[in-house]
Amino acid sequence: MGLPVLIIGESGSGKSTSMRNFQPGELGIINVSRKPLPFRTSLKCVNTDNYMQIDDIIAKAKAKSLVIDDAQYLMANEFMRNAKVNGYQKFTDIALNFWTLVQTVVNDLPDQKIVYFMAHTERDASGNEKMKTIGKMLDEKITIEGLFTIVMKTVVQDGRYMFSTQTNGQDTVKTPMGMFDQPLIDNDLRMVDMTIREYYGLPKNINQEESKDENA
């Protein structure tokens, strides 16, 4: 059983940059929006918003950790391709395709695989912050955050880029009890990956044992 993790945040708040410390072979990146990464890297990166291709990539990837960057564009791009299609069926299809991808991670991937879904945020009618979708019609079909046990948010505080690990009462952030000691931690997805693997007893990524010894 693979583990899906949701990382949400405003544009420019450090979602993509948080991948910077992964070493080659540790992480595979699926770049949905096809934008250049904000740091130099030799990590493998595939540009696609095709669900079938993504299913194939995450199934065959040798890396134990994968990122689907700007995952909300999977829904947005599908919506735009069907913008001239009338009726509500397209919203059901968009919700079903995203739901199926998350279920594929959970049901079809081995335990060692963690897939990080990175997405922008928006505020609902009550002012609560959530993952950006394509509107109320899709939100009525599916509550995205309900598909994830771990939801973290990128925040910028006093010029520092951080991950929020606990809800502020107006967002959908949640992490398992005892996984993180602090409500705000450094914006370092590799360290988050190590922590999640240790918490659940998952196989470590390559080089992570050495990194843990160096930080001890």
Q: Structural domains in the chain? A: 3-215 (3.40.50.300)
**Residues 162, 154: contact at Cβ < 8 Å?**
yes
Strands in 26-64 per DSSP E: 27-31, 44-47
Over range 132-148, report the average pLDDT. Answer: 86
**Residues 116, 70: contact at Cβ < 8 Å?**
no
59-87 burial: b if 16+ Cβ within 10 Å, else e: eebebbbbbbbbbbbbbbbbbeeeeeeee
Over range 147-157, report the average pLDDT. Answer: 96
Q: What is the pLDDT of residue 209?
A: 58
C-alpha–C-alpha distance, residues 58 and 21, integer Å: 21
What is the model's pTM? Answer: 0.92
Q: Is the pLDDT of residue 210 over 60?
A: no
Average per-residue pLDDT in the chain? 91
Q: What is the pLDDT of residue 211?
A: 52
